[in-house]
A and B are shown apart, each in its own frame.
Chain A
Amino acid sequence: MKKKEQSFFELISQKPWEPSQAALDNDHNGKTLAVSKAKLGVRTVMVVSTVIFSLFVISYSDRMLIHDWKSLPEPWLLWINTVILILTSIIFHRTKVLADSNELEKAKNSLFVIGFLTFSFIIGQLLVWQYLLNLGQYASTNPANAFFYVLTAIHGLHVLGGLYFWAKVTTQLVKKNYNISKIKHAIELCAIYWHFLLIVWFVLFGLMVAT
């Protein structure tokens, strides 16, 4: 029974007709990777989202070379939102550590804080939109604006998607209706997703600030 993770190329160059390989194969448990299905699911979603954001970034870099590009003023509120997102990520990491050491009560409380902060982030982003719209910076005013609105909207939708799963986990914790190892795993996965969203935001915000 070989449990060492084999690379994809090793796997597809196996020689199943050789008796030694056949014996190994007969004992194979049917799993390719030593991760849970849910974790692989989150990873797949992150890969797909990364492709989406990368294509937006490529389109952005292509579009900004054209003469009509005018950078958008960056409201200070965006920096505050960024700080909120960083804080959320840090707290989520702590929550995960708490959950791992079975302190689920404390984890629940800090999940509430995370929910509050994440909602404030969304509201903060909407306030930025409102601020810009009041300045007369509409999406059609300039391609830089259009990209700003699209990127923040898509990022925001990703955050909302995360909040759906946050709500599921938190409800289970509040109702005390959970399986311990499952809920710990769920918290871990949410934490990973929140870190992912933070990194995406760094890339997007960095791109918009730098250009």
Chain B
Amino acid sequence: MEDEYNNTKIETKAADSSSGSYVPSAESVPVSEIPEQELYHAKSFWTRWVFCQDAKVIGVQYALTATAIGLIGLVLSWGMRLQLGFPETFSFLGPATYYQSVTMHGMIMVVYLLTALFLGGFGNYLIPLMVGARDMVFPYVNMVSFWMFLIAVLVLISSFFVPGGPTGAGWTLYPPQAILPGTPGSEMGIVLMLVSLSLFVIGFTMGGLNYVITILQARTRGMTLMRMPLTIWGIFTATVLALLAFPALLVACIMMTLDNLLGTSFFMPEIFTMGEQLGTTGGSPILFQHLFWFFGHPEVYIVALPAFGIVSDLISVHARKNIFGYRMMVWAIVIIGALSFVVWAHHMYVSGMNPYFGFFFATTTLIIAVPTAIKVYNWVLTLWRGNIHLTIPMLFSLGFIVTFVNGGITGLFLGNVIIDIPLSDTYFVVAHFHMVMGIAPLMVIFGAIYHWFPLMSGRHLNQTLGKIHFWISFVGAYAIYFPMHYLGFIGVPRRYYEMYDSPYMATGVGLNQFITVAALIVGFTQILFLYNIIHSTFYGEKSEKNPWKANSLEWHTPEMPPAHGNFGKELPVVYRWPYDFSVPGIDREYIPQHVAPSEVPTAKVEKT
């Protein structure tokens, strides 16, 4: 790892500042103590676009790969919905294929789409630009990270083509059933899934190293932690969570792979099957559940925290108002991140654990609602008396707030043991988690794409298509998931391939058909969105520089889209936070982060 080592320099600085004679001045441009990063300049097509070390290109590569695998996840969900809505008409999905679709849909969406898109995609693209760095600190490792991710995705896809097909154990992959005959894909599918996840974790750790260290150590001058855009705070905290949580998944994957291939009994208890005893004894399936959810719960926040951060920025920019309670927002992100490590067993209330254990986890779960609610209030208070521009990013942000509140509140119910136990295996849970960690983050992703697309391509996305996309996705999401809450209440169990003539389904049949039709329409709208992206990349309306009049550094690069190295000769120097909109006392409407106080002498400083 190449690095400049300049501790000696810093120590001398420290020595003269400790004498107390140094009086900081508001205006002087501080000397750059960090030497310019040596960038690898690509020479050929291959090193520029394929094996590229530029974080922006890596971000786009991550986003494209994640979108491609996400489309497979989308198509799988159509298959499931057709089966659930019209079991007689569409019989192409057998029970085994149904379970495989459920499993692959869940795993793809949570890990390979959302995590990769938020941290790999937006993280890579935005971190260096927003903190004012030329690139990530270890560009080579960053490149390897993407290629590991790509291999992980390819291994995952290859499991569709092996004998027995992909695993059908549910996205939680609980042993012993995941690796026993009878579960679809227990031959090769599960092994490929575990290998793919392990590769993903290793690749992610390489990327995460970059994100964390770039944010901590490679910011531009004047960019203190408390002047960073909340997007960066969200991505930073989520990456720290991921670095600490993914090892649990890795450990669980390694042990389960061995249980499967070598016949060890880490998780496998004594099992009798077809009148014969298998060779395993004494293993604990609950141990796997603990490991899995020790990863699985922080994973929810790995997806949610970047969304929180990004949406804060979108709301502030498009409402032309500073974010309400910036410090509180940062604290809330950090507190949510810390608490997310002590709530994992609320996914295991029905696993037969000690009731006092459940009591503890119910309490911590409910405590998380406090910082989360603070964030929601702050978003709403930012909007209050703001100059709200109903642009598409703003529409999606508003959609996010409503959806997140909805999904969050059902989460409060499910966090209580006594309510969770009857609802645990019903569609209520399906509706809850799709609202809170499916639709809500997706709203932010869409908003963010509409927001940053001009930066990435120099062109706007088509507004009409965008509005159609928003309204159908937003209303459609409610058409899909609101009825599911009701299905849960009347007792329709999740994971069932078909309900046959079950008495539950007297009212459920029509609803299920309605949900299926809505899901198909919403799904096809996403194709429209992809068409919009492809079409606008080449023929979209040309965007002027900084079309949203935002303050953060990524919009103030010399070229748009930003060139290799991001900023021209000189890195920008930061004098303020990125939320100086409608500041009283001056005649300009917004003050970008790099505008020195001397240029806006009459601006009033507001308490944040």
Q: Chain A interface (Cβ within 8 Å of chain B)?
A: 1-4, 11-17, 19, 22-38, 40-41, 44-45, 47-48, 51-52, 55-56, 59, 62-63, 66-69, 138-140, 143, 146, 150, 154, 165, 181-182, 185
Contacts and interface: CB of A to CB of B under 8 A. Distances in A.
Contact of A51 (B14, B216, B244, B287): B244
B212 interface: yes
B111 interface: no
Interface of B: 1-7, 10-11, 13-14, 17-18, 22, 24-28, 30, 32-34, 131-132, 137-138, 205, 208-209, 212-213, 216-227, 243-244, 247-248, 250-251, 254-255, 258, 262-266, 279, 281-284, 287, 291, 294, 327, 330-331, 334, 573, 575-577, 597, 605-608
A12 B330 contact: yes
A196 B250 CA distance: 20
Nearest to B138: A41
Given A26-B30, A55-B247, A150-B254, A143 B265 contact: yes
A38 B224 contact: no
Contact of B606 (A17, A38, A55): A17
Given A181-B5, A182-B5, A37 B137 contact: yes
A54 B131 CA distance: 34
A34 B6 CA distance: 9
Given A12-B327, A32-B217, A182-B3, A63 B287 contact: yes
A19 B27 CA distance: 12
Nearest to B294: A55
A12 B331 contact: yes
A30 B10 contact: no
Contacts of A2: 17
A35 B608 CA distance: 31
Contacts of B227: 16, 25
B251 A52 contact: yes
B26 A30 contact: no
B3 A3 contact: no
A63 B11 CA distance: 49
A24 to B, nearest CB: 6
Given A59-B287, A66-B284, A37 B265 contact: no
A17 B601 CA distance: 15
A182 B213 CA distance: 18
Contacts of A11: 224-226
Nearest to B596: A26
Contacts of A36: 3-7
A45 B210 CA distance: 11
A55 B251 contact: yes
A14 to B, nearest CB: 5
Contacts of A55: 247-248, 251, 291, 294
Contacts of B287: 59, 62-63
A13 B327 contact: yes
Given A3-B13, A33-B216, A63-B283, A27 B24 contact: yes
Contacts of A40: 213, 216-217
A26 to B, nearest CB: 5
Given A12-B226, A31-B217, A38 B14 contact: no
A29 B221 CA distance: 4
B225 A17 contact: no
Contact of A26 (B5, B26, B284, B330): B26
Nearest to A60: B266
B34 A16 contact: no
B230 to A, nearest CB: 13
Contacts of B327: 12-13, 15
A28 B221 contact: yes
B26 A23 contact: yes
A121 to B, nearest CB: 22
A28 B224 contact: yes
A44 B212 contact: yes
Nearest to B205: A48
Given A23-B25, A68-B282, A30 B608 contact: no
B205 to A, nearest CB: 6
B264 A139 contact: yes
B30 A19 contact: no
5 contacts: A23-B25, A25-B226, A27-B222, A28-B221, A32-B217
A181 B6 CA distance: 9
A182 B2 CA distance: 8
Contacts of B27: 26
B283 A52 contact: no
Nearest to B251: A55
A29 to B, nearest CB: 5
Contacts of B244: 47-48, 51
A67 B282 contact: yes
A33 B17 contact: no
Contacts of A28: 30, 221-224
Given A38-B3, A48-B205, A150-B258, A30 B220 contact: yes
9 closest pairs, A vs B, by CB? Answer: A30-B219, A146-B264, A38-B3, A140-B263, A3-B14, A68-B282, A66-B282, A52-B247, A51-B247
Tell which of A11, A140, A182 has the most Cβ of chain B within 10 Å.
A140
B34 A17 contact: no
B331 A25 contact: no
